[in-house]
Amino acid sequence: MAKVTIRDIRVILTAPVGINLVVVKVETSEPGLYGLGCATFTQRFLAVKSAVEDYLKSFLVGKDVDNIEDIWHSCMVNSYWRNGPVLNNAISGVDMALWDIKGKRAGMPVYQLLGGKCREGAAVYRHADGRDVHEVEDNVRKYMEQGYRYIRCQLGGYGGRVQKLSSPENAPPGAYYDPDAYAMSVPKLFDHVRSKIGFEVELLHDVHERLQPIEAVRLAKNLEPYRLFFLEDALPPEQISWFETIRNQCAVPLAMGELFVHPCEWTPLIANRLIDFIRVHISAIGGITPARKLAALCEAFGVRTAWHGPGDVSPVGHAANVHLDVCCPNFGVQEWSGISEPLAEVFPGSPEVRNGYVYPNDKPGLGIDIDEEKAAKYPCENRVIKWTVARTPDGTSVKP
């Protein structure tokens, strides 16, 4: 097979549903052959664009597209400082695109290059929110009727419903919530849902690091009777040593990793069997290359995968998730935010969900493309992110 090199690297920015998405297009010396990768860091999308076009492009043009491993490592160390979300996402965009190219050259889907299928489709979970427990119950039932067997339950979003707050004079603006009211509302929510629906569906909940560590311990213990499939992000990355306390106190399955960007964050949790599911955002750790190694590490310690799959993952990133899902023996469940009509038009070949399972297509590579003319109709907006300015009732800025 003739040597093929990187000819150009471009970043495509688009927001078909109002969420800033970053897609990297790697073009090759072979006419018409290119690959796509997800580099979406929606809150800092312009920084990722600069990292790709102002730094990685000049470093990579002319390199052999087959040498994915060498390219990944050399990109990671070329800046000397490494393992941050901006650079990791930039590298991820290139990495996924190279896997896409390798699959196209081989005439195989990426999952075949990773060892082939363990399952035909990957079970997904959807998000059921509501203003009260009855609305959450109704939304759970709607998803069950559509064939979903894994459903995340939230009451009023992250941190719960905003009750009447008593704040100091001149308190700064922000996304206020009451941690104590939130912590007390969650067991009541699951008590209601389980009493009405029973245990025939798997239920999940996302704390989103909104509690102090000791309160997270107490919440996990209080949720034990409701047999959650997992409790997600009970702690922020800065407090992972508290997972040992939770593990020693109760048997609620724990999922963690959405904000992880460095191997030193996940390695001790996996090696010490302190979590049950790894929840990393694949583009935030650098793409398919590190994710497949992370999955193998998890397999050795009985930890299952549950890759991050919200709306701020592009359909290209969702496709990468699904290719990994179907070939990893220790797959657990896949978060799924849905592919709307505008997204499907901009990204033809997006993965499809049927009766609670998501399926990759059998096209070579990641099996997904981008319509750049349609993508250009949905420009990204550089704005101040408000929901991440989380504050407790006294106005203190806390982790979102």
Nearest-angstrom CA–CA distance, 23 and 370: 9
**Predicted local distance difference test score (pLDDT) of residue 17:** 97
Is 58 inside any structural domain? no
Residue 204 in contact with residue 230, Cβ under 8 Å? yes
Is 281 inside any structural domain? yes
**Predicted local distance difference test score (pLDDT) of residue 217:** 98
Is 4 inside any structural domain? no
Is 241 inside any structural domain? yes
Is 265 inside any structural domain? yes
Nearest-angstrom CA–CA distance, 127 and 125: 7
Active-site amino acid positions: 158, 208
Which CATH number does the domain housing residue 342 bear?
3.20.20.120
**Predicted local distance difference test score (pLDDT) of residue 162:** 72
Would you give per-residue pLDDT tens digits along the chain (400 residues)? 679 999 999 999 999 999 999 999 999 999 999 999 999 999 999 999 999 999 999 999 999 999 999 999 999 999 999 999 999 999 999 999 999 999 999 999 999 999 999 999 999 999 999 999 999 999 999 999 999 999 999 999 899 977 778 899 999 999 999 999 999 999 999 999 999 999 999 999 999 999 999 999 999 999 999 999 999 999 999 999 999 999 999 999 999 999 999 999 999 999 999 999 999 999 999 999 999 999 999 999 999 999 999 999 999 999 999 999 999 999 999 999 999 999 999 999 999 999 999 999 999 999 999 999 999 999 999 999 999 999 999 999 999 9
Is 289 inside any structural domain? yes
3-class state of residue 315 by DSSP: helix
Residue that has been written with the tokens 């750049």 in this structure: 372
Rounded to the nearest 10 degrees, the angle between the axes of helix 288-300 and helix 263-271 is 20
Total domain count for the chain? 1
**Predicted local distance difference test score (pLDDT) of residue 224:** 98
Is 77 inside any structural domain? no
Residue 271 in contact with residue 244, Cβ under 8 Å? no
CA torsion, ordered 92, 98, 103, 105, to nearest 10 deg: 170
Identify the domain containing residue 321 by its residue range.
113-362
pTM summary value: 0.96
Extract the tokens encoding 126.
């959807």
Is 328 inside any structural domain? yes
Q: What is the 3-class SS of 50-119, one letter each residue?
A: HHHHHHHHHHHCCCECCCHHHHHHHHHHHCCCCCCHHHHHHHHHHHHHHHHHHHHHHCCEHHHHCCCCCC
The whole-angstrom distance between residue 4's C-alpha and the CA centroid of its chain comes to 32
Those residues whose C-beta lies under 8 Å from the C-beta of residue 193, and which sit 6 or more positions away, are 133, 136, 137, 140, 153, 203, 226
